[in-house]
Amino acid sequence: MSTSAFAAPAILDVGVSTSQTNWVFNPPQQNPEVKFWMRVQRQGNLSRFGTFDYYFKVQVFRPDGTEVWNTTYGFSEEGYSEQVFSLPILFYERSADRAHPSFGTWRIRVAMTEKDSGNEVSAKEYLFNFSDGRNR
């Protein structure tokens, strides 16, 4: 039977640990850890081997739309997965040129993908604006 015949699993919760969307970059500074997470319904999402058929996918895009992070993570037995980034150091480290950081609005997108087919169930996108604090 084709896996595409099954309904997409239920996403119970998806979120980020901060409400801050504007970040001023002015090194040296503290870089707080920001957690992105997803919790999915366990029942109906397990393969016949007792493992999740889905991954937690995290993507990061620069203001020009180039992708600088695209990684998948497994879910725990409880259906939970997370990724932690230090902001704004992520912005600095993933800029195309650290001498001229990519200021502007970065996108962090979280989704759930089916392991075998790669089909994606989009969950949420977060926007973070990084500005230059050295010129204030």
pLDDT tens, position by position, 102-126: 999 999 999 998 888 888 887 799 9
Q: What's the mean pLDDT in 1-24? A: 76
What's the CA dihedral at 65, 124, 133, 89 to 10 degrees?
A: -80
Question: Structure pTM?
Answer: 0.84
Q: Would the pLDDT of 21 be above 80?
A: yes
Q: What's the mean pLDDT in 79-101? A: 90
Mean pLDDT of the chain: 85
Biggest CA pair distance of the chain: 61
Q: Which band of pLDDT confidence, cut at 50, 70 and 90, is reported for residue 4? A: very low
Q: Would the pLDDT of 1 be above 60?
A: no
